[in-house]
């Protein structure tokens, strides 16, 4: 029992120090920080304006397209943050840093969990920023500060799912270019076959079927309720549990693939 | 090399180690050796010899296909965690994070080895001072030169006072001056910290200067192993090249001029220390002597005593290059790796933009 507790504590601290590096790196990359501030603004302003008239179509579930779009932007930013955060390990491999991490007496799973933690923290920060920007732009939000926390929680869990996916691919595919191709092949369809940008009822029926199965809906639907309609506890709970389990499972898959790639 | 009682224990012990990569490349093909405590042991071999593969196996990053390796008393397959706690590793690539400062790189490295903040601060000061980077510690590594990065990388490998430090090509692609400075640090390391060093290189001069013992590796096998002087002695001794004129002159103290080639060869072989004598195609004599600097005057003296004249005499200590040539039939090419390396680095830089 005692030794289990100790190794758990070690795993947690190893995870933190792997994440610490990512956080430091992040702080140093001014351009990245600027982009994080500018990007949601552009998305909201541009898309909100472009599709404004869609909100006047009968049956549209929100008063303004901007209101509808805000959770979509959160999802999109989360998706890309998660995917790219996981891919940083390919660079570490190329530059030899990965071997340095693996030669240290840290748990091998800490390399994966550390990257995931960094992604999660970054997502929390990004989504908080999107919130502020969205509020400044007059987006309405029904569920107050607690609801905002729930949106952040959902986003963080979703980012872990995608970090897990991209880490798993990174363990198997060692070329940056090939990995980019695979990731693009995956993310774009995921985004456009979801209801992030457009209500289900506006889609052709075959797309509706796909959109319902799309894992993104476990994040988007509860977020949208929190934004537009109010508390839907069951939907929220389902989303949190499914995403948390998926994130955990993918983290484990990534760790296993990673261990195997070393032998 | 004074190895006392406690020194001299094997810290690394490798038996019939084989590593075959997926796809069938047998990078390490059955190597056996031991490294003693406090020793500086070197793997010398050309590109692709299997040096890095051997290191990666010893530091538990690659699983051996067969054979056994014990590092600091622990089997690398059975107890990789225990091995990793006690070793330091500085890879062939310069693996420092250039978006962090020198100090932050060391801090992180210390944390990965479970050191506390105070220990890290103290050790950082020591290792930074040792590699002369104290003044630049707070600068981003992005602003460092290649040599400074390498020094920082080596400092990082020392932060936790490892028992054994693995250095993979510590001076690859560095200029001659920087290379010599790194040699000084490696020497200092042993004096100050008493660390066992396992290093690889394909620069024979580096192996010669730094290593107590060397294993010469080629195509995944160890073809020769020993101290630099043992290895050189293994090819016979020092090489003397002598050009002798058989002039018709009177001999001093009534000696008799030797009769023809056979006679001259017999004469040369009677000189103390000369082990072999043969006439090369250009007419010069090539002699192998235990200690060339003692044999050379003796040769001059003996030849003169028999009324012969020496026009030319040159002495050459065999280099590890000669040793490598002797065991593999090939020369170690010194320039190849450097070219490779700079190409690889610039490639990466470009890709990263
Ligand atoms: N990951 C890998 N997969 C397949 N083959 C590999 C791999 N890494 C190395 N090899 C092969 O194993 C052999 C030994 O490579 P290794 O890197 O150990 O050589 P080295 O002595 O370190 O060479 P260098 O001086 O160039 O660093 C080479 O033929 C190389 O092509
Ligand atoms: Mg190598």
- Residues of chain A positioned with their CB less than 8 A from the CB of B94: 96
The alpha carbon of residue A96 is apart from the nearest alpha carbon of chain B, in Å, by: 5
The alpha carbon of residue A257 is apart from the nearest alpha carbon of chain B, in Å, by: 15
Place of tokens 């690398």: B76
Residues B302 and B348 in one domain: no
CA B90 – CA B56 distance, rounded (Å):
11
Q: Which chain B residue has the Cα nearest residue A102?
A: B61
Nearest by CB to B113, from A91, A105, A263: name it: A105
CA A115 – CA A263 distance, rounded (Å):
21
Tens of pLDDT, residue by residue over B150-162, are 999 999 999 999 9
B247 lines ligand 1 (CB under 6 A): no
Domain membership of residue A123 as a residue range: 3-262
Taking the CA of B23 as reference, the closest ligand is 1
The total domain count for chain B is 2
| Residue of A29, A90, A96 best to disrupt the B interface, most CBs of B under 10 A | A96
- Rounded to the nearest angstrom, the gap between the alpha carbon of residue A56 and the centroid of all alpha carbons in its chain is 30
Question: Predicted confidence band at B259 (pLDDT cuts at 50, 70, 90)?
Answer: low
Q: What is the DSSP string of A84-112?
A: HHHHHHHHHHHTTHHHHHHHSSS-HHHHH
Stretch A190-215: mean pLDDT, rounded? 83
Give the model's pLDDT for residue B227.
93
Cβ–Cβ below 8 Å for B112 and A101? yes
Give the model's pLDDT for residue B249.
52
- Residues of chain B positioned with their CB less than 8 A from the CB of A99: 56, 61, 89, 91, 93, 95
CATH number at residue B113: 3.40.50.300
The total domain count for chain A is 1
Question: Predicted confidence band at B353 (pLDDT cuts at 50, 70, 90)?
Answer: very low
- Residues of chain A positioned with their CB less than 8 A from the CB of B84: 103-105
- Residues of chain B positioned with their CB less than 8 A from the CB of A20: 108, 111
Cβ–Cβ below 8 Å for B84 and A94? no
Stretch A131-155: mean pLDDT, rounded? 90
Mutate to test the pocket of ligand 1, among B48, B57, B94 (most ligand atoms within 8 A of CB): B48
Residues B301 and B280 in one domain: yes
Q: Residue B342: is its pLDDT beyond 90?
A: no
Mean pLDDT of chain B: 84
Tell me which of A166-180, B123-137, B313-327 is least confident. B313-327
Q: Residue B216: is its pLDDT beyond 90?
A: yes
Percent of chain B with pLDDT over 90: 45
Q: What is the pTM of this model?
A: 0.82
Domain membership of residue B328 (yes or no) is: no
Which of A152, A185, A160, A182 lies closest to A242, judged by CA? A160
- Tell how far the Cα of B28 is from the centroid of ligand 1, in angstroms: 9
Question: Predicted confidence band at B336 (pLDDT cuts at 50, 70, 90)?
Answer: very low
Stretch B92-98: mean pLDDT, rounded? 91
CA B46 – CA B31 distance, rounded (Å):
16
Tens of pLDDT, residue by residue over B1-29, are 444 445 557 999 999 999 999 888 999 99
- A-contacting residues of B 38-57, CB under 8 Å? 56
B100 touches chain A (CB under 8 A): yes
Domain membership of residue B326 (yes or no) is: no
Q: What is the DSSP string of B36-89?
A: ETT-EEEEE--TTSSHHHHHHHHTTSS--SEEEEEETTEETTT-HHHHHHHEEE
Cβ–Cβ below 8 Å for B348 and A105? no
> Is the separation of the CB atoms in B49 and B217 below 8 Å?
yes
The b-or-e profile of B41-70 (16+ CB within 10 A means b, else e) is bbbbbbeebbbbbbbbbbbbbbebbebebb
Residues B218 and B340 in one domain: yes
Domain membership of residue B327 (yes or no) is: no
Give the model's pLDDT for residue B8.
59
Ligand 1: residue whose CA is nearest its atom 6: B21
Stretch B302-319: mean pLDDT, rounded? 85
Ligand 1: residue whose CA is nearest its atom 31: B48
Taking the CA of B49 as reference, the closest ligand is 1
Percent of chain A with pLDDT over 90: 44
Domain membership of residue B301 as a residue range: 236-317
Q: Ligand 1 atom closest to Cα of B45?
A: 21
Domain membership of residue B6 (yes or no) is: no
B117 touches chain A (CB under 8 A): no
Stretch A40-50: mean pLDDT, rounded? 80
- Residues of chain A positioned with their CB less than 8 A from the CB of B113: 104-105
CATH number at residue B281: 3.30.70.100
Ligand 1: residue whose CA is nearest its atom 28: B48
């Amino acid at each position: 029992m005692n030794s289990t507790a100790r190794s758990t504590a070690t795993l947690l601290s190893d995870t933190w120090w792997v994440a610490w590096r990512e956080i430091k790196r992040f702080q140093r990359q001014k351009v990245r920080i600027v982009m994080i501030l500018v990007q949601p603004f552009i998305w909201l302003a541009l898309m909100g304006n472009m599709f404004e008239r869609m909100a006047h179509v009968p049956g549209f579930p929100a008063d303004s397209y901007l209101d509808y779009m805000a959770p979509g932007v959160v999802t999109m930013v989360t998706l890309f943050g998660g995917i790219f955060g996981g891919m940083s390990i390919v660079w570490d491999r190329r530059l030899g840093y990965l071997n340095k991490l693996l030669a240290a007496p840290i748990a091998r799973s800490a390399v994966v969990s550390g990257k995931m933690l960094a992604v999660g923290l970054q997502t929390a920060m990004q989504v908080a920023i999107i919130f502020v920007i969205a509020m400044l732009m007059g987006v309405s939000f029904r569920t107050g500060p607690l609801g905002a926390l729930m949106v952040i929680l959902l986003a963080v869990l979703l980012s872990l799912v995608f970090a897990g996916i991209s880490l798993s691919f990174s363990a198997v595919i060692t070329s940056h270019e090939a990995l980019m191709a695979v990731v693009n092949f995956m993310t774009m369809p995921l985004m456009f076959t979801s209801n992030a940008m457009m209500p289900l009822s506006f889609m052709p029926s075959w797309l509706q079927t796909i959109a319902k199965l799309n894992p993104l809906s476990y994040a988007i639907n509860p977020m949208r309720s929190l934004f537009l309609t109010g508390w839907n506890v069951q939907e929220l709970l389902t989303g949190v549990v499914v995403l948390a389990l998926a994130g955990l499972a993918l983290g484990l898959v990534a760790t296993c693939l990673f261990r195997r790639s070393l032998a | 090399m004074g190895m006392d009682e406690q020194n001299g224990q094997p810290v690394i012990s490798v038996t019939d180690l084989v590593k075959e990569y997926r796809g069938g490349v047998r990078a390490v093909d059955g190597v056996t050796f031991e490294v003693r405590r406090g020793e500086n042991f070197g793997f010398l071999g050309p590109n692709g010899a299997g040096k890095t593969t051997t290191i990666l196996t010893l530091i538990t990053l690659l699983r051996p296909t067969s054979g056994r390796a014990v590092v600091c008393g622990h089997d690398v397959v059975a107890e990789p965690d225990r091995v990793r706690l006690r070793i330091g590793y500085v890879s062939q690539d310069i693996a420092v994070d250039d978006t962090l400062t020198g100090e932050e790189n060391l801090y992180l490295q210390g944390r990965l080895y479970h050191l506390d903040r105070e220990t890290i601060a103290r050790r950082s000061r020591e290792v930074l001072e040792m590699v002369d980077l104290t003044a630049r510690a707070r600068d981003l590594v992005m602003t460092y030169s290649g040599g400074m990065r390498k020094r920082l990388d080596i400092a990082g490998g020392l932060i936790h006072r490892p028992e054994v430090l693995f250095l993979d090509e510590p001076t690859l692609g560095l200029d001659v001056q920087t290379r010599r400075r790194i040699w000084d640090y490696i020497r200092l390391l042993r004096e100050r910290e008493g660390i066992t060093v396992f290093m690889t290189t394909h620069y024979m001069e580096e192996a010669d200067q730094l290593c107590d013992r060397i294993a010469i590796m080629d195509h995944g096998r160890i073809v020769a192993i020993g101290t630099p002087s043992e290895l050189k002695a293994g090819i016979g001794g020092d090489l003397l090249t002598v050009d002798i004129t058989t002039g018709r002159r009177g001999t001093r103290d009534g000696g008799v001029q030797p009769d023809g080639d056979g006679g001259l060869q017999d004469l040369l072989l009677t000189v103390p220390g000369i082990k072999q004598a043969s006439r090369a195609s250009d007419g010069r004599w090539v002699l192998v002597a235990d200690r060339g600097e003692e044999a050379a005057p003796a040769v001059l003296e003996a030849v003169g005593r028999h009324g012969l004249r020496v026009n030319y005499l040159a002495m050459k200590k065999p280099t590890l290059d000669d040793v490598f040539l002797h065991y593999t039939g090939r020369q170690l090419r010194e320039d190849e790796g450097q070219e490779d390396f700079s190409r690889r680095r610039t490639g990466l830089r470009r890709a990263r933009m």
